[in-house]
Structure 1
Amino acid sequence: MFSRPLTPEQRRILDTLNVAAPPMDEMFAVRLERHFGELYEGLTAVYPDPKTMLGPLLEIMRQRYRERPADLKRLDLERTLAKDWFQRPEMIGYVCYTERFAGSFKGVEKKLDYLQSLGVTYLHLMPFLKPRPAPNDGGYAVMDYRSVREDLGTMDDLQSLATKLRQAGISLCCDLVLNHVAQEHEWAVKARLGDPKYQRYFYMFKDRTLPDQYERTLPEIFPDFAPGNFTWDAQAQRWVWTTFNAWQWDLNWANPEVFLEFADLILWLANKGIEVFRLDAIAFIWKRMGTNCQNQPEVHAITQALRAVARIVAPAVLFKAEAIVAPDDLIQYLGQDVHFGLVSDTAYHNSLMVQIWSSLASRDTRLMAQALRGFPSKPYTTAWNTYLRCHDDIGWAIADDDAAAVGLSGEAHRRFLSDYYSGRFPGSQARGLVFQENPRTGDRRISGSGASLAGLEQALEHGDMQGANLALERLLLGHAIVLGFGGIPLLYMGDELALLNDYRYLEEPEHAMDSRWVHRPRMDWAKAHRAQSDPHSIEGRMYHALRHLIAVRKSTPHFHASIEAEILEPKNPHVFAYVRRHPLGNLVALYNFSEQPQYYPLGQLAERGLTQPFDRISAKSIAVSGGLVRLEPFARLWLTQGEG
C-alpha cells in the first residue's frame, strides 16, 4: 500500500536478477515486483554493497516459496486481499507458556475448545525454540532455531498444532530472538573455536579498549545478576558483547551473512505454520559508539528489508516488535518517515499498561490522559498490542515531562508506584515483588500477577469479600481499557481466572533468583472448570465477565485498529475518557478509577454526537440527571448513540 514505483536503477537490478533466475510463477513475480523497492532500500540503508546480497537472498526466497505448503499459499492470498485481517475487533490474543498451560504441543491441541470459548484468535506460545540448558532467560537464549524444546514435543508436533490452530481460526505467534543467541548455538561454538566466518557473526574483541569505550554510554539491563555488557571468553580469548547475560552472545547485524541467516529462518518457520513473529529484543540489534545502542536507524531499515522478504514469500505473516521504549522511539517500530507502514505490523503499547496501573494506584487519570494524548499517531495499517499484564516485570516508564505537566515529580511518582505495588505504601492492597532494584538509578521494577497487584490476594487472605469484589472490579476495568483502546488485546494466561501470585517458583533452583516467575503460574484447570460451571465463584465471575467484554468488543466495529483512540481532557480527575470516531458514529469510552461513584458531564458526550448515550457493555441506555452521567465505582462504559 505504501510502496513507490521502482527507480530506474532498481528496475535494472531486478531485471538482471530475473534474467539470471526467472520467477517460478506469476504470484511470486508480482509480489517480488511489488516489494522489491522496499527490500532494496532497506538493504541499501545498512549494507555497503547490497547488490552482492541479492543473488543469495533471492535463492533463499525462491527455495522457501517452492517449499511453502498449498494451504499456507492460500492463506497468503486471502490475507493479501484482506489486509486488515489482524486489525478487526474479532482479534483476541492469548499468551501462555506451553508447558504451564497444557504440558506440550499435543496438550495445547486438546485445549483448543477452551481457547475458542474465550474467543481467542491469536495464540502466543512463549519461547519454544530450543534454548540452552537452564539458566536460559526463560527460553530467550536460543541454542537452535530449527528445533523445539524436547519436553514440548517435536517440530512435527509444532507444525501439527499450527495447522489445527489455523483450522480453528487461531494464528500462532512465535518468539524470534534477533539480538543474540545462546553461547551453545552452533554459530557461537564455531566462533569460539576460531572460525573467522562465525567470529564475524558476533562482536568479539581481543582487549578491553573498544568495550570500555562502548560501556561509557551503555545501560545495564540486568544489573543484579548480569552487570556490564561484555564477557571474557577464555576459549576464544576474546571479549564478547553480551547485553543481557554472559551466555547470550549479541549478533553482529552489520554482517550481511547474519541478515541472510534470519531471512531464511523466518521463511522456514513460516512454512511450519508460524503466522506472527514476535521480534524479541529488536531495539538492541544495531550498535553505535557513543549511544545506548538502542533504537538506532538501522534497526528499522533491517526490519523493513526482512518484512519485504516475508511479504514476497509469505505475506500471511505478521511482524510484532518487542520494543519497550519511549513513545517517540516506539512509534518508529510501526514505521515513520521513509519507513511509514513498512516495518513491523504491530507493537506493544507498554505505556497504556503502565498508565492503567499508575491510575489504579493514584485514583487519578490526569497523568494517564497527558501521557497518552501526546502519543504519536501510528500508520493506519498497523495495530497496537494492548495488555494489562504479561510475562515480564513492570518498569515504571513515567516521563518526567508528562509528570511535570500535571504537577507531579516523575521520580517521586515512580518511587510511589514501586512502593505501592510492592505493598510498602500505607494502605496499599497490592502484593507485588521488587525486580532488579538498581541502587545507582533508584529504579525498582515490579513482578506480580494482575490479581495480586489488584488486591485479590490480600483480600482473600483476610477473608475480605468486599476487598475481593473491588479487586475484581479493578481487573475488569483494566481489561475493558485493554479491549476497548484499539488494536490486538492480549490476555495473559490465568488472568481470565484471576490467578494469584505463585510463590512455588522459590522451590525451583533455576527460577528462584528471578521474581518474574511469581506471575508465571501453571494453569489451574480445576479453577478453569469451576469458572465455567460456577459463575458466582471468584474465578467464575472473572471468567464470565471477561468473556462478555470480549463478545461485546467483537460486535463493535468502532474498535477496528485503524482508528485511533482520541484522549479527552479529564473533566473529572477520576474518569478516563476517549472517543473513537467511526463512520457508523462515535464511541466514547468512560472509565471510573475510583472506589466511589463519579460523574461525567453529558455535554461532553453530546459534543461527540451522543445525546442519548447507550452503553454497549450493559446493553442499557444511560440515565442522566442534572446533565451528568453517573459512573459506579470502577465503572466501564462503551457509549454509542441510541441503541446502535
Structure 2
Amino acid sequence: MLKSDLAARLRPNFDDDRDADTFLLRLERYAADLVESLEAVYGEKTNTLLDGLLEVMIHAFHARPADLRQLDEARLLRPDWLQQPDVIGYVAYADRFAGTLRGVNEHLNYLEDLGISYLHLMPLLKPRAGENDGGYAVQDYRSVRPDLGTIDDLSALARDLRSRGMSLVLDLVLNHVAREHDWAERARAGEQKYRDYFYIYPSRAIPDAYERHLPEVFPDFAPGNFTWDDEAQGWVWTTFNAYQWDLNWANPDVFREFLDIILTLANRGVEVFRLDAIAFIWKRLGTNCQNQPEVHHLTRALRCCLRIVAPAVAFKAEAIVAPRDLIPYLGTRDHHGKVSDMAYHNSLMVQLWSSLASRDTRLFEEALRAFPPKPTNTTWGMYLRCHDDIGWAISDEDTARVGLSGAGHRSFLSEFYTGNYPNSFARGLVFQFNPATGDRRISGTAASLAGLEKALASGNAGQINEAVQRLLMLHAVVLGFGGVPLLYMGDEIAMLNDYSYERAPEHAADNRWVHRPRMDWNAAAAAASQPETPAGKVNAGLRHLIGVRQQTPHLHASIETKALHSPDPHVLLLRRDHPLGAMVQVYNFSEVPVHFPAAPLREALGESARELIGGHTYSFAPSYLKVEPYAALWFVQE
C-alpha cells in the first residue's frame, strides 16, 4: 500500500477527487517497482530524486488532454493492444515520405488503405544543423525540425492519426545529445551543473582505460569513443560521432530531465517511444559499456512513471544485441514484462537474408531454437529491413551447431549481398568495413537485395518473377511470425536502391542513404493501377498478406513462435500453439519446388488443414506435399 502520509501530502495537488484517486491508485500500483529500480541505480539520492519526479508527474498529469486520458482508460482495459494481429507498422522519414508533417497528414488515406495502424516517423525532433547522423543528434527535444513544421503540427498529426485508429511512434535518443544542445552549450560555458550531465575528462588517462574494452561503432568516420573539445577543455565521451555527446545517466538530474521530455511528448500525442541506443546508456569501466544491469532499472523506472501519468504509451527498445542480451530489455526475473513493451527481433531479420542467400534454413532453425522466450505481455518488432544497415549478427555458436564457420558464413553473406559472389542476385553496398574484425555491414533496399534491381536491368522475365516471389515470401515470414510487422516506406511498391545520395554532400559519406529514397508517389499510383507490373504484384501480394494476417487470431503476439525440425533444408517450418488450435507455417527459401514430407504437418495439424493465404484446404494423406519455389503457406487446424 502507498504510505498514507505520502498520499495525504500529494492529494492537495489535485482539485478533483477523482483525479487524485486515479493518480494515487496508479502510484500505489507502481511505487514499489519505481523505488526499487531508482534505489538500485541512485542509492541514497533516491528520496530527493523521487520528490522531483512526483512534481514532474503531477504537472504532466494535469496537462494531459482529455482525449488522451480517454485513450489511457481504453488501453488499461485492453493492455494487449500492441499485441493484436491487426497492428501493422509503417516506418518512414517524414520529409522523404511527404515533405512536411502536414504533408504526412495528406497521405493518411494511403496508409489507412494499406492497413497501417502504427506509424513510426523517423527522427523529426530538431537536430543540429549540418551533419546529424540522420537526425539522431538532437539539439532540442521540444521542437520539430523547422523544415517539417512545428510542434503544434506534430500534435495535430497525432490527433488525426488517433481519429483513424493509428498510433504515432517517435524516436527518443537517450544515449546522447547534439554538441549544440543547450545542456552541452552550458557545459562548454563552464556551468558545473551541466558539465555533470556528460563525461568530460581533462586527460586521456580515464578515456584510455575505458577504450581498452570499447568497440567502435563507426570505425570509418568516427574512430574511437572520445573527442577532444577545445571549449570544454576536455575529452568528451562520444560513442557515435564527435558531435554527439554521451549523457551521464548516473546523474539523477539527467533522469528527471528525460522524464519531463517523455511526458511532454506523450501529452503531444506520441503513443510509442523508440528508445534509441538504449543499450549504451550506462558506463562501467572494464566492460564494453553495453547492456549493463542499470540500463534495465532505468528503463523500468521510466516506464513506471509513464504508467502512472500516461498508461496508453508504450516503450520499444532499440537494442540490436545478441539474443542472450536482448530478453532483459523486455524483462527477466523480477523485471519480467516490466521493462520495455516491445523490442526489435534483429535475429529474425538477419536469418531471413542468410537463408535467402544460402537456400538453407538449418541455421535459421537453430538460431530460433536457441532464442529464449519473451514475456507473454510483450511483443517483437518484426522487420525485413529498416533505415539502418544490415549487420551480420550471427553467432559462432549457432553456426558451429550446423557445421559452418561463423566468420566464413558472415563473409559469404557480405560477398553475396554486394553482388560479388558467383550467381548472386543481390545489389547492395558495403557499409563500415572493419578490418580488425572483418565485419562488413550491408546497405540496400529490400527489393534490390532480393534481386529485383538486377533482374529488371537484365530484362529477364523469369528472374523478375523470382525476385517478386522472394519479396513476398520474406514479407510473409515477417507478417506471420507474431509481433508488430514493421514495413519500411517504399517496400510496399518494391522501390530500388537510390544512388542519388552520392550527389548530396550531406549524405555522400553514408551509403545507408541508398535505401532511404524519397517516396515515389507516381510509382505508388502505378502499382495500384497496374497489378501486372513487378511493383504491382508486390503491392497486391503484400496487401493480401496484410488482410489475411489481420483476420488471423493465431498471430496474437502473446503466442511464441517455435521452429520445428524440417526434413528439407530448403524449407522453414514454424509453429504457433494458439487456444484456437495449432498454426504451422511453411516457407520455401529456394527457387526450386520441394516435395516435402507430409508427416510433420500431419503430426501437428491432423489429416487436413486450412491454408489461409491461398484459401484452400489441404489433405496430408499423401506422403509428400509439393511446395512451390519461394512459397509461403499458413496452415491452421480446421
Equivalent position to 1:630, from 618, 626, 632:
626
Cα distance in 2 for partners of 1:21, 1:549 equals 51
Q: CA deviation at 1:600?
A: 2.5
In the other structure, the counterpart of 2:65 is: 69
Aligned partners of 1:346 and 1:385 also within 8 Å:
yes
Cα distance in 2 for partners of 1:456, 1:469 equals 9
Q: How does 1:296-315 map to 2 (within 5 A)?
A: 296-315=292-311
SS in 2 for 1:312: helix
SS in 2 for 1:607: helix
**Does 2:280 match 1:284?**
yes
In the other structure, the counterpart of 2:436 is: 440
Aligned partners of 2:498 and 2:517 also within 8 Å:
yes
Cα distance in 1 for partners of 2:479, 2:11 equals 50
Q: CA deviation at 1:16?
A: 7.0
Q: Unaligned regions of 5+ residues in structure 2, if any?
A: none
Aligned partners of 2:607 and 2:621 also within 8 Å:
no
In the other structure, the counterpart of 1:31 is: 26
Equivalent position to 1:138, from 134, 140, 162:
134
In the other structure, the counterpart of 2:250 is: 254
In the other structure, the counterpart of 1:347 is: 343
Cα distance in 2 for partners of 1:483, 1:134 equals 37
Q: TM-score of the superposition, structure 2-length normalised?
A: 0.98
Q: CA deviation at 1:626?
A: 3.5
In the other structure, the counterpart of 2:10 is: 18
Cα distance in 2 for partners of 1:243, 1:560 equals 37
The count of corresponding residues between Structure 1 and Structure 2 is 634
Q: CA deviation at 1:17?
A: 5.2
Supply the AA of the counterpart residue of 1:589.
Q
**Does 2:635 match 1:639?**
yes
**Does 2:210 match 1:214?**
yes
Q: Unaligned regions of 5+ residues in structure 1, if any?
A: 1-5
Supply the AA of the counterpart residue of 2:32.
G
In the other structure, the counterpart of 2:110 is: 114
In the other structure, the counterpart of 1:78 is: 74
In the other structure, the counterpart of 1:548 is: 544
In the other structure, the counterpart of 1:480 is: 476
Aligned partners of 1:430 and 1:455 also within 8 Å:
yes
SS in 1 for 2:604: coil
Supply the AA of the counterpart residue of 1:173.
V
SS in 2 for 1:588: strand
SS in 1 for 2:586: strand
SS in 1 for 2:547: helix
SS in 2 for 1:86: helix
**Does 2:255 match 1:263?**
no
Cα distance in 1 for partners of 2:395, 2:30 equals 38
Aligned partners of 2:607 and 2:619 also within 8 Å:
no
Aligned partners of 2:611 and 2:618 also within 8 Å:
yes
Equivalent position to 2:459, from 435, 456, 463:
463
Q: CA deviation at 1:622?
A: 2.4
Cα distance in 2 for partners of 1:56, 1:570 equals 56
Aligned partners of 2:450 and 2:470 also within 8 Å:
yes
Large movers: runs of 4+ above 6 Å: none
Q: CA deviation at 1:264?
A: 0.6
Cα distance in 1 for partners of 2:262, 2:531 equals 43
Cα distance in 2 for partners of 1:62, 1:155 equals 22
Supply the AA of the counterpart residue of 1:189.
E
Cα distance in 1 for partners of 2:547, 2:489 equals 18
Q: How does 1:159-198 map to 2 (within 5 A)?
A: 159-198=155-194
Cα distance in 2 for partners of 1:37, 1:79 equals 22
Q: How does 1:196-595 map to 2 (within 5 A)?
A: 196-595=192-591
Q: CA deviation at 1:21?
A: 5.2
Cα distance in 2 for partners of 1:348, 1:13 equals 42
Residue by residue over 1:263-306, the C-alpha shift from the partner in whole angstroms, topping out at 9 and shown as x without a partner, is 01000000000000000000000000000000000000000000
Cα distance in 2 for partners of 1:251, 1:268 equals 20
Q: CA deviation at 1:29?
A: 1.5
Q: 1:623 to 1:463 in 2, by over 3 A?
A: farther
Percent of residue pairs identical: 61
Q: 1:16 to 1:51 in 2, by over 3 A?
A: farther
Supply the AA of the counterpart residue of 1:58.
L
Cα distance in 2 for partners of 1:138, 1:478 equals 27
Q: CA deviation at 1:14?
A: 4.2
Q: How does 1:91-102 map to 2 (within 5 A)?
A: 91-102=87-98
Aligned partners of 1:43 and 1:305 also within 8 Å:
yes
Aligned partners of 2:602 and 2:620 also within 8 Å:
no
Cα distance in 1 for partners of 2:546, 2:150 equals 33
